[in-house]
Amino acid sequence: MSDTLELAKDLISRPSVTPEDRGCQALLADRLSKMGFTVEHLRFGDTDNLWARRGSDGPLFCFAGHTDVVPTGPEKNWKYPPFAPTIDNGILYGRGTADMKGSIACMVTACERFINHHPDHNGSIAFLITSDEEGPAHDGTVKVVETLENRNEKIDWCLVGEPSSTDAVCDVIKNGRRGSIGCTLKIKGKQGHVAYPHLAKNPIHEFAPVLKILTETQWDQGNEYFPPTTFQVSNIHSGTGATNVIPGECEVVFNFRFSTATTDKQIRQRVEALLDEHKVEYEIDWALSGQAFLTEQGELVSATQKAIKEVCGFETVLSTAGGTSDGRFIAPTGAQVVELGPLNATIHQVNECVAVDDLYTLSDVYENILNNLLT
């Protein structure tokens, strides 16, 4: 069994459901220390974070990832126990195989080989690992980045090991992500009897015209890297449950995924102006999960594309599709950020899995990226 597979299985066997780490970072710290990394354990709230760095000179290349995983759901629905990593016909099953303990194992073994061949490499290598990516993400990468910024420690290039691949490992590089802003909107009305609507004010009726406009609005055209901004309602709640009562309040939860063609400030202003225009009485609570970011063609993208061509023999595709990642906390510091990891077909699902050979390929690609940037 290869070092990559052995480490992946060791990490997967630890039931680190967010925000638990269950000793994953201690295991990584031991491996990294042996390579000459200086290790810091940074705990904020109930979140464990690891910052490890080898070297003091720039440029600084950082591997970023998370040891926490999403809950398994009923384990009886799994083909194999989710925290008992099992290989069946060349496929490794277990929670976190793809998202993203497999990637972390590949990062570590890539570094081990690279440092063995280039002990005096240029620049520095770092690992930023958190146990708070799958949860609220309040005490994880964002807090580590704040710590680094406060001491003026700058990441130049960052590779996040999120599962980016679609049909074949490394066929897609994520070089950006859309921003995400959520909203909880409370429309105020006046409760009353449905037979006497003139004595009440139905908040659902008040909001209905606004909702129609929100769903039909084209927020922007997108650009060459991003599709247009989207609006989606995720929850509407109102009423007492009785058929003869006009509700006194309606709560609507919705989300925007926005491109670099629109800012979160513009979205807030347009929504609130629309509510005011329709004289809706409301309370509104916005929650910005992350700004849109983009890493255009440069050293990191080129080094990653070259490494994939060298190992896999094909040209890869740049994409900004999908949800958010911790790259949204790192990119605003000025770092170039890409995401590259295993296939995402089974992430967060029952029977999450990766092909064992894909892990070997990914580790080789990571090593070649280090070669392309730091030698």
- pLDDT tens track for 34-75: 999 999 999 999 999 999 999 999 999 999 999 999 999 999
Nearest-CA neighbor of 352 among 93, 100, 161, 71? Answer: 93
Which residue in 20, 48, 68, 162 is the catalytic one?
68
Order of strands across the sheet that contains 172-174: 38-44, 47-54, 124-130, 60-66, 157-160, 336-339, 172-174, 317-319
Q: Looking at residues 229-253, what average pLDDT do you find?
A: 97
What pLDDT, on the 0 to 100 scale, is given for residue 322?
Answer: 84
Nearest-CA neighbor of 66 among 147, 140, 5, 10? Answer: 140
CA dist 69 and 113 (Å) reads 27
What pLDDT, on the 0 to 100 scale, is given for residue 243?
Answer: 96
DSSP structure class, residue 109: H
DSSP structure class, residue 57: S
Tracing tokens 């990653």 back to the chain, one arrives at 304
The answer to whether residue 346 scores a pLDDT higher than 80 is yes
The answer to whether residue 1 scores a pLDDT higher than 70 is no
Question: Which pLDDT tens digit goes with each residue over 304-317?
Answer: 999 999 999 999 99
What pLDDT, on the 0 to 100 scale, is given for residue 148?
Answer: 98
Nearest-CA neighbor of 130 among 340, 337, 329? Answer: 329
pTM across the whole model: 0.90
Nearest-CA neighbor of 310 among 354, 265, 238, 370? Answer: 370
Question: What does the H/E/C string look like for 5-17?
Answer: HHHHHHHHCCCCE
DSSP alpha helices (H): ranges in the chain? 3-12, 24-34, 102-117, 141-150, 203-216, 264-277, 299-312, 327-330, 356-374
Please, what is the Cα angle at 304 between 260 and 310, to 5 degrees? 150
CA dist 286 and 255 (Å) reads 10
Which residue in 20, 48, 112, 133 is the catalytic one?
133
First to last CA, the chain: 29
The answer to whether residue 9 scores a pLDDT higher than 70 is yes
Query: Which amino acid would we find at residue 21?
Result: D
Residues 6 or more apart whose Cβ sits within 8 Å of residue 343: 98, 163, 165, 166, 167, 168, 169, 354, 355, 358
Catalytic site residue 139? no
Q: Looking at residues 19-29, what average pLDDT do you find?
A: 97
Mean pLDDT of the chain: 97
What pLDDT, on the 0 to 100 scale, is given for residue 324?
Answer: 84
The answer to whether residue 113 scores a pLDDT higher than 90 is yes
The answer to whether residue 205 scores a pLDDT higher than 70 is yes
